[in-house]
Structure 1
Amino acid sequence: MPDKEPRAELDARYSDERATAVPWSDAVTRLAEAEVYWLTTVRPDGRPHVTPLIGVWADGALHFCTGAHERKAQNLRGNPHVVLTTGSNALREGYDLVVEGEAVRVGDEPRLRRLAGAWEAKYGAEWHFDVRDGVFVNPGAGEAVVFAVPPRTAFGFGKGEPYSQTRWRFS
């Protein structure tokens, strides 16, 4: 999954006249540094399901893991389209990000080992995962399947001076 530079567009309707489009590299830095993300999936009956989780940015995608029988994993079996969000709850400061894409299961064990190392480096030893049979294994929590979400479209919302809305379109 390449870290290709997408086209950045500032939406003047929702941006201060002094605002400029934010480079994708700045958004990637924020995505990589965020500690908590909110994942939105769609239930079989069409209702949304939203849950907070942790994740890592690697290989041009946001990655998260979940138990194979959890609601979000069940939802993804029927509909892989997701939205991941992160940012701050403040109104007049900070930056919020929205990533839209398709969640793709990661089963390649060398890649999973790299991702497991990234999880532990970011979140500490309590988030240590072994890799076995194409899944993460945590001795205290059991098995987790891993998904990658390469962005299809992303949005950034600058809050405060200057307010801005940037859209990144990926080919």
Structure 2
Amino acid sequence: MPQAQPLPELDPRFSDPKASAADWSDAAAQLRDAELFWLTTVRPDGRPHVTPLIAVWHDDCLHFCTGPGERKAKNLRENQEVVLTTGVPSLSEGYDVVVEGEAVRVTDEPTLRALADAYVHKYGPDWTFTVGDGVFVHEAGEALVFRVAPRTAFGFAKGDPFGQTRWRFAQ
């Protein structure tokens, strides 16, 4: 798991002189509360693949799930490096957070049960999963579950003052 409070670094090249580095706790709260994320994976031929999905923040990591036949699951069989992005579609206000890391399969039942509870708590009863044989089970089928521990994260403050913060995590 990543360290709880990495040191923030403000990048002056992309920040207003009035800006200060953001605290990781604020970015982690946004990751916890965000409803929608954009997942970037890499296809076997090297082209990027980006798709929206839901995710939960649990034990200082982002978690998402996908069907085993979906493009993102196929991509992850070859290359586990991913980027998860969340934020607001505005140039003049809000905050965006980008998390880079490795997507690692979660298969142990206690963790999967905790994550299934986290999905219901965050997204409601339509996102109820049972756990079976190292996967989530839903009326639509099985879903593989992945954990992304942040290796590097970026925060983009928009508006006044704008700023870019980078956090590096001990691995």
Shorter-chain TM-score: which interval?
over 0.9
Matched, 1:126 2:126: yes
Task: Give % identity.
Answer: 67
Judge conservation of contact 2:2–2:169 (CA < 8 Å) in 1: no
Structure 1 gap segments, 5+ residues each: none
What is the alpha-carbon distance in structure 2 between the residues aligned to residue 169 and residue 7 of structure 1? 7
SS at match of 1:77: helix
The superposition leaves residues 13-49 of structure 1 with CA deviations (integer Å, 9 ceiling, x where unpaired) of 1111111100101000000000000000000000000
Matches within 5 A, 1:50-65: 50-65=50-65
SS at match of 1:161: coil
SS at match of 1:103: strand
Judge conservation of contact 1:66–1:72 (CA < 8 Å) in 2: yes
Structure 2 gap segments, 5+ residues each: none
Partner in structure 2 of residue 8 of structure 1: 8
Compute the RMSD of aligned alpha carbons. 0.8
Runs of 4 or more, structure 1, over 6 Å off, are none
Matched, 1:156 2:155: yes
SS at match of 1:35: coil
Letter in 2 for 1:129: F
Partner in structure 1 of residue 96 of structure 2: 96
What is the alpha-carbon distance in structure 1 between the residues aligned to residue 60 and residue 3 of structure 2? 5
Q: How many residues align?
A: 170
Letter in 1 for 2:55: G
Judge conservation of contact 1:2–1:59 (CA < 8 Å) in 2: no
Matched, 1:21 2:21: yes
SS at match of 1:62: strand
SS at match of 2:13: helix
Judge conservation of contact 2:2–2:150 (CA < 8 Å) in 1: no
Judge conservation of contact 2:37–2:53 (CA < 8 Å) in 1: yes
Letter in 2 for 1:117: D
What is the alpha-carbon distance in structure 1 between the residues aligned to residue 72 and residue 83 of structure 2? 12
SS at match of 1:151: coil
The superposition leaves residues 68-88 of structure 1 with CA deviations (integer Å, 9 ceiling, x where unpaired) of 111000100100000000001
TM-score, scaled relative to structure 2: 0.98
Judge conservation of contact 1:37–1:86 (CA < 8 Å) in 2: yes
